[in-house]
């Protein structure tokens, strides 16, 4: 397992960096926010990202992808984190394509994955039903009928829910309220009768929606994976997404820290640069160290995803390691981002606040540090 980028990954990273800075700076997110953009992302930008191959990065070549691995997708996500790019990359590619790849049958993969690569299909995962991530606490029901299934329930914080062509709905076809058994996963076109989607506005200005399913009828072919045993594939997909998300968080915290350092070397008080105060220097040095650890964790976790020998439980441990550590440090760095800028850090005109807002949503998404420390402990046998 290599902890440094290989040459191809480094080239990809450099080009992703240049692309994001030129084409998707933070001012784009600001514009989407200020204009209350109906879709919450820029379709032209997304098509450019598709043209660069980002939508097919980790998808196998047989389905039109580029087999660049999660290591490749990871460096792209890291760079999008630097400029807080709002795009379907996480909901459609990192979550959606991964779920189809992990759970779908041959026909589903052949039908859907090439369309994701081509940028023709947007997906959204309708999973959580509570204020915090709880992937086994599924009350949405899936009732088998002769022809297929009927879904009922409601889903919160569905990323890209209001722009997706298809929803990936996690429902319970059997089993107790908090059980891993009895979970089934369905592909539901967003315009199916009985599906009500309401956009919610989150602090990070990214897309999110509430999805209510009332008597939603889907055919048997909508099922992803087996009836009642979808959890293993769902969990593995979530773990992959957690690691990808950690890569994005890494980029955001590196950017926040770079901006802090710039300010420490530029702002003067008491006749000296504020970066000469030891109280700030030690905090900066501590942040640097923590970010270095985060970087190692993300590299190790991405490498594990591309290692054919890695088991699902090893990946689970890496995912919780990464999401716990990155969430903890994201909180630290985003808070210091405000504090070390003083008053200007509190102004909306200044960009640092966007990093704080994104950090908290990313921390919560797919499980916060408490969730993942608990899971890491359980996976480590204590």
Partner 1 sequence: MQALQEFQESTRAWLEENCPPSMRTPMVQDEIAWGGRNATFKNPESKVWLERMAAKGWTCPTWPTEYGGGGLNKEQSIVLSQELARINARPALTSFGISMLGPVLLEYATHEQKMEHIPKIVRGEIRWCQGYSEPGSGSDLASLSTKAELHGDYYTVNGAKVWTSYADKADWIFCLVRTDFEVPKHAGISFLLFDMASTGVSTRPIQLISGSSPFCETFFDNVQVPAGNLVGGLNEGWNIAKRLLQHERTMISSFGLSSGQSDRGGTTSVMAAVEVAAMHYRGDKERLSDPVLRDSIARFKIDSEAFAYTSRRSIEESKQGQGPNATSSMLKNYGCELNKRRYELLLQALGHQALGWEGEGFTPEELQVTREWLRSKANSIEGGTSEVQLNVIAKRVLGLPDLVAMAKK
Q: Which residues bind partner 1 (CB under 8 A)?
A: 2-4, 261, 264-265, 272-273, 275-278, 281-282, 284-286, 288-289, 292-297, 299-300, 321, 324-325, 328, 370, 373-374, 376-378, 380-382
Nearer to partner 1, 167 or 321 (CB): 321
Q: How far, in Å, are 148, 152, 307, 314 from residue 216 at the CA level?
A: 11, 7, 39, 37
Considering the complex, what minimum distance in angstroms separates the CB of residue 261 from partner 1?
Answer: 6
Q: Within 13 Å, how many C-alpha atoms sit on residue 48's CB side? A: 14
Q: How many CA atoms lie within 13 A of 98 on its CB side?
A: 27
Question: Biggest alpha carbon distance in the chain?
Answer: 79
Q: Which two tokens stand for residue 33?
A: 């926010």
Give the shortest CB-291-to-partner 1 separation in angstroms.
10
CB of 296 to partner 1, least distance (A): 4
**Alpha carbon 10 to its chain's center:** 22
Minimum CB distance to partner 1, residue 375 (Å): 9
| Comparison of 295 and 357: residue with beta carbon closer to partner 1 | 295
Tokens of 4: 């440094």
Tokens of 3: 């902890």
Of the two residues 11 and 220, which places its CB atom closer to partner 1 in the complex?
Answer: 11
Q: How far apart are CA 367 and CA 365, in angstroms?
A: 5
Q: Which is nearer to partner 1, 21 or 380 (CB)?
A: 380
Which DSSP symbol is given to 229? B
Compute the least distance from the CB of residue 147 to partner 1, in Å: 44
Minimum Å gap between C-beta 5 and partner 1 is 10
How many CB atoms lie under 10 A from the CB of residue 152? 16
The residue among 42 and 254 lying less far from partner 1, judged by its C-beta, is 254
Nearer to partner 1, 45 or 284 (CB): 284
């Amino acid at each position: 397992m290599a902890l440094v980028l290989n040459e191809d990954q480094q080239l990809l990273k450099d080009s992703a960096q240049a692309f994001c800075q030129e084409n998707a700076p933070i001012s784009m997110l600001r514009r989407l926010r200020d204009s209350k953009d109906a879709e919450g992302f820029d379709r032209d930008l997304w098509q450019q990202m598709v043209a660069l191959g980002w939508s097919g990065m980790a998808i196998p070549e047989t389905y039109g992808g580029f087999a660049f691995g999660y290591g490749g997708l990871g460096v792209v996500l890291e760079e999008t984190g630097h400029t807080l790019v709002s795009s379907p990359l996480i909901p459609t590619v990192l979550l959606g394509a991964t779920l189809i790849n992990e759970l779908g049958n041959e026909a589903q993969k052949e039908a859907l994955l090439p369309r994701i690569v081509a940028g023709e299909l947007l997906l959204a995962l309708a999973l959580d039903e509570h204020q915090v991530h709880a992937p086994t606490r599924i009350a949405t029901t899936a009732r088998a009928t002769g022809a297929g299934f009927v879904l009922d329930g409601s889903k919160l914080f569905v990323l890209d829910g209001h722009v997706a062509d298809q929803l990936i709905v996690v429902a319970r076809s059997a089993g107790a309220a908090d059980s891993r058994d009895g979970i089934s996963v369905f592909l539901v076109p967003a315009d199916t009768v009985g599906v009500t989607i309401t956009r919610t506005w989150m602090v990070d200005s990214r897309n999110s929606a509430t999805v209510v399913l009332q008597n939603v009828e889907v055919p048997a072919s909508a099922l992803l994976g087996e009836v009642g045993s979808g959890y293993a594939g769902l969990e593995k997909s979530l773990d992959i997404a957690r690691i990808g998300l950690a890569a994005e968080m890494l980029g955001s915290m590196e950017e926040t820290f770079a901006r802090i350092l710039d300010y420490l070397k530029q702002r003067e008080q008491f006749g000296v640069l504020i970066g000469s105060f030891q109280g700030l220097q030690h905090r900066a040095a501590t942040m640097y160290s923590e970010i270095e650890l985060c970087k190692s964790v993300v590299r190790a976790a991405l490498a594990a995803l591309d290692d054919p020998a890695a088991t699902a439980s090893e990946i689970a441990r890496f995912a919780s390691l990464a999401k716990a550590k990155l969430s903890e440090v994201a909180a630290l760095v985003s808070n210091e981002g405000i504090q070390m800028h003083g008053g200007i850090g509190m102004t909306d005109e200044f960009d640092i606040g966007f990093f704080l807002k994104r950090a908290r949503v990313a921390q919560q998404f797919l499980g916060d540090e408490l969730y993942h420390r608990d899971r890491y402990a359980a996976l480590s046998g204590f």
